[in-house]
Amino acid sequence: MSNAVGYAIGPLIGGILIDNLGWRATFMFRVAPALLLAGLAVVKLPVRRERRAGPGFNFLGALTLAACFAGGLLTLSQGRALGWSSPRVFILAAASIASFAAFVVVKARAKSPMVDLTVIRLAPFMIANVLAVMANCARFAVGLLLPFYVIKVLKYPATTGGTLMLATYLPTIVAAPLAGKLSERIGTARLSSLGLAVQGLGLWMLSRLNEQTDYLSLAVTLGVVGLGLGIFEAPNMSFIMGSIPRTQQGVAGGIANMMRPIGIVFGAAGWSLLFDQRQQSYAPASSVAANGMLLALQDVFLSAAGLCFVACVLSLFRKGEASESNVHAVS
């Protein structure tokens, strides 16, 4: 719910800033809140004064893992811009692979590894995390490409686009705590599957929109996407935390929270690549640039819907709840 509040407010503020001050203001605006929050963290968050026994945080593991993800994302973005045979793209890809290899070596030797890979033996835990990647990848098609549709096709100002993003995440804010409570009665797996199906339905509805779509219809459609995301995330997180021993809850939470940005990274790279490819394929047959863009957007949203439905089927194949024998298997 807290994540959804940020996702809802951010685009609205961004739209206002773009319309009045230009796109650079959206980046400059972040400086003051970041400094304020950093100061509050120092002053208000409790600090453990005594030195803890045992190994500390594995900074080298964090650095190599971050380099791996950054290199992979740069490879995808630069490959699209420069061509996949470019020497720069090859170097970035090699650096990303080398960083991952370094991470594996560091992890094997570290007393306190960045990610404890023993949890991958728990199939329910891994499936739930894969579902989180797929759901966040699918929903980022909206955050990435909706502004093109709203501004270039519907000709709305950026502020209006921000209010539409607000319509996306308001249902998420409402649904998330309710889904958390219902999961105790219905079961986390079934409720997660329902959320993925609803999210997929909303993305399919987005793929049916056109240049005559009115504001209310678009807001309702986006609300369906947000409703599905809200129904999915809380039960899936509960499933993740319940499928691993209590002694490794920190590991479970860390890996689960890592899945969200991984899904967003995959979505940013994959959907932009698909959008560019489809727009180029429609360009010769479309005399109006906006029409080719609309057709490409429809294809991307349809593909995102398909990803959600695949995730829904995968979710249905897992057990309703993690069994005690599985939970203790990695203890």
Q: Say which CATH number the domain at 217 has.
A: 1.20.1250.20
Instruction: Check the CA dihedral 316-320-325-330 and report its sign.
Output: positive
Residue 260's CB is within 10 A of a number of other CB atoms, namely 17
Domain span holding position 304: 2-18+119-330
Domain co-membership, 127 together with 109: no
154, 65: one domain: no
Which residue, 84, 113, 142, sits at the end of a domain?
Answer: 113
Residue 267 DSSP code: H
User: What is the spatial distance between Cα 93 and Cα 96, in angstroms, rounded to a whole number?
Assistant: 5
Judgement on whether residues 107 and 124 belong to the same structural domain of the protein: no
Residue written as token pair 């890809």: 93
Q: At what angle do helices 158-186 and 188-207 cross, to 10 degrees?
A: 150
Which of 49, 83, 113 is a domain's end point? 113
Q: How many CB atoms lie within 10 A of CB 78?
A: 17
Q: Is 22 left (phi over 0), alpha (psi -120 to 50) or beta?
A: left
- Which residues have C-beta within 8 Å of that of residue 278, sequence separation ≥ 6? 295, 296, 299, 300
Q: Considering 72, 98, 113, which residue would you say is the last residue of a domain?
A: 113
175, 142: one domain: yes
Number of domains in the chain: 2
Residue 328 is predicted with a pLDDT of 44
Q: Are 107 and 113 in contact (CB under 8 A)?
A: yes
Q: Are residues 90 and 146 in the same domain?
A: no
Claim to verify: residue 93 and residue 179 sit in the same structural domain: no
200 near 142, Cβ under 8 Å?
Answer: no
Kindly state whether residues 203 and 312 are assigned to the same domain: yes
- 10-27 burial by CB neighbour count: b if 16+ within 10 A, else e? bbbebbbbbeeeeeebbe
Residue 43 lies inside a defined structural domain of this protein = no
> Can you list the alpha helix ranges (DSSP code H) found in the chain?
2-21, 25-28, 31-44, 59-82, 87-109, 123-147, 158-186, 188-207, 215-242, 249-282, 289-316, 324-327
Same domain for 67 and 165, yes or no, is no
C-alpha to C-alpha distance for 29 and 227, rounded to whole angstroms: 29
pLDDT < 50 regions, the chain: 320, 322-331
> In angstroms, rounded to a whole number, what is the distance separating the alpha carbons of residues 36 and 26?
17
Q: Are residues 135 and 98 in the same domain?
A: no
Same structural domain, 137 and 259: yes
Give SS3 for 22.
coil
174 with 135, same domain: the answer is yes
* Residue 164 near residue 219, CB atoms below 8 Å: yes
Place of tokens 């209310």: 216
Same structural domain, 249 and 309: yes
